[in-house]
Amino acid sequence: MDHYEAALRQQLHSSCDLIVLDTVDSTNLYAKKLASQGAAHGTVVIADCQTAGRGRLGRSFASPKGLGLYCSVILRLNLPTEQLMNLTVFTAEAARRAFLEAFGVETGIKWINDLVFERKKLCGILTELGFSSQGTPDYAIVGIGINCNHLPSDFPEEVALMATSLRQILGRPVDRSVLAGALIRQLTLAAEAMAHEPASWLNSYRTHCVTIGQDVQLVQNGQIRSAHVIEMDDQGALLVVLPDGTPEKVFSGEVSVRGMYGYQ
């Protein structure tokens, strides 16, 4: 752990306030507490292990000790809520660029928040917003979990067949701190792009999104429906058509792509 913390501090040096924890329930929960106490924009929380790592749609995120990068970043972006709604999209594109920068690994994006390699999950993102008493956005927490040095036996049984790690992709262990450095650099660029020139980042996300153009299953409020995905709009919503030709916008829920994560 001391070695991990030293390596992280070297990679991230003066670029941000960095808190490194041995074990925590969830770095997102920890970062939320810090943000509500006034922690600065750009504060980064990284843990070596999470005992209650959280995912989207109320799921858990397995976070075994010493194997993954479990990271949450506090952002105070001064953007309206509508614009912050696609922070997950920009974070996913930042993570994609970080894999490329750090290890030359090309990944795809499964809408909205998963980075995949050969149909298996490599990384998940959980974005949470905090609001002031006036109802305006106060802070955002961007939580990123990356499977780095996991072997197949390190995953819980229920996700083992759907998950991969950088170690399995590259055939060698990776330095998590190098990835953290690339991720924070790319996230900083993503925040600038969101505010000033979002188009090229949105288009890059679309190009690498494995969900667009596919027949999918929409899982919303316990209901499962088939649909075809046409495009993603600038707010991050999917434009789909139902089998009877009805167009619909999808803002949330699970969108399963055939051949991925056990959907045949």
The residue ranges that bind ligand BTN (CB under 6 A) are 26-28, 50, 53-56, 59, 61, 70-72, 113, 124-126, 143-145
Nearer to ligand BTN, 88 or 214 (CB): 88
Nearer to ligand BTN, 23 or 78 (CB): 23
Query: Buried b vs exposed e over 220-232: b needs ≥16 C-beta within 10 Å?
Result: eeeeeeebebeeb
The angle subtended at Cα 258 by Cα 252 and Cα 263, nearest 5°, is 85
Nearer to ligand BTN, 145 or 181 (CB): 145
Nearer to ligand BTN, 113 or 165 (CB): 113
Rounded to whole angstroms, how far apart are CA atoms 237 and 235?
6
The edge-to-edge listing of strands for the beta sheet with 114-117 is 18-24, 44-50, 68-75, 137-147, 120-131, 114-117, 108-110
Select the residue whose beta carbon is closest to ligand BTN and give its number.
124
Residue 239 CB, shortest distance to ligand BTN, in Å, is 22
Residue 143 CB, shortest distance to ligand BTN, in Å, is 3
Residue 178 CB, shortest distance to ligand BTN, in Å, is 18
Residue 144 CB, shortest distance to ligand BTN, in Å, is 6
With a CB cutoff of 8 Å and minimum separation 6, the contacts of 199 are: none
User: What is 89-121 written as a DSSP string?
Assistant: HHHHHHHHHHHHHHH----EEETTTEEEETTEE
Nearer to ligand BTN, 118 or 197 (CB): 118
With a CB cutoff of 8 Å and minimum separation 6, the contacts of 141 are: 28, 31, 32, 35, 72, 73, 74, 75, 127, 128, 129, 130
Residue 142 CB, shortest distance to ligand BTN, in Å, is 9
Residue 197 CB, shortest distance to ligand BTN, in Å, is 27
Cα dihedral sign for 222, 60, 167, 202? positive
Helix (H, G, I), strand (E, B) or coil at 68: strand
Nearer to ligand BTN, 136 or 220 (CB): 220
Nearer to ligand BTN, 55 or 198 (CB): 55
Residue 90 CB, shortest distance to ligand BTN, in Å, is 15
